[in-house]
């Protein structure tokens, strides 16, 4: 059974021309863009700056650590093209993670009893869905940071 990233354009491209694979041990790093004119950082990458629209956007690898800025429980299935699992929709947590220069909307793999605004979190991957050919597709997510973790 193989595994692939939900969208390689969201991740830092390695020397060999693709994003780090989900089964390499470490999660792939998220890659946004920084404006050369006003230094605004965005995620996902885009070709023009939403703030000044004058600078050139260049790749910016984002930090792997941040803090929950806000969150909610997604209790209903998302609209297509998202796939609902065969056994039905399971509620999950989603939120904004403050990575310093940018807020990233992401899946939060944190138990309800632990999640809170300001919680230190770390980048990880999580299952998104399984394709008809059996390939497991993973997406980026944030999990609670373990004490003493760097």
Domain boundaries along the sequence of the chain: 3-144
pLDDT at 11 over 80: yes
d(CA 11, CA 46): 13
pLDDT in the model for residue 117 = 97
For residues 109 and 3, the model is more confident at: 109
For residues 79 and 44, the model is more confident at: 44
Q: Using 50, 70 and 90 to split pLDDT, how confident is the model at 119? A: very high
Give mean pLDDT, residues 77-106. 87
pLDDT at 69 over 70: yes
pLDDT at 146 over 90: no
pLDDT in the model for residue 130 = 82
For residues 6 and 100, the model is more confident at: 100
Q: CA 59, 63, 66 angle in degrees (round to 5)?
A: 140
pLDDT in the model for residue 107 = 95
d(CA 48, CA 45): 9
Q: Using 50, 70 and 90 to split pLDDT, how confident is the model at 27? A: low
- Rounded-to-10 torsion of CA 17, 18, 20, 24: -90
pTM summary value: 0.85
> 138, 125 in Cβ contact below 8 A?
yes
Give mean pLDDT, residues 72-76. 92
The fraction of the chain above a pLDDT of 90, given in percent, is: 55
Q: Using 50, 70 and 90 to split pLDDT, how confident is the model at 25? A: low
d(CA 142, CA 77): 20
């Amino acid at each position: 059974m193989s595994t692939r990233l939900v969208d390689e354009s969201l991740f830092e491209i390695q020397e060999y021309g693709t994003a780090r694979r989900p089964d390499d041990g470490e999660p792939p790093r998220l890659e946004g863009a920084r404006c050369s004119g006003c230094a605004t950082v965005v995620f996902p990458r885009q070709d023009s700056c939403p703030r000044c629209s004058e600078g050139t956007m260049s790749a910016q690898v984002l930090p792997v650590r941040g803090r929950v800025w806000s969150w909610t429980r997604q209790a209903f299935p998302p609209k297509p093209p998202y796939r609902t699992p065969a056994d039905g929709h399971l509620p999950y947590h989603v939120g904004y993670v403050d990575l310093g220069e940018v807020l990233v909307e992401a899946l939060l793999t944190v138990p309800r009893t632990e999640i809170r605004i300001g919680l230190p979190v770390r980048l990880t991957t999580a299952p998104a869905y399984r394709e008809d050919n059996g390939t497991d597709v993973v997406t980026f997510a944030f999990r609670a940071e373990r004490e003493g973790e760097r």
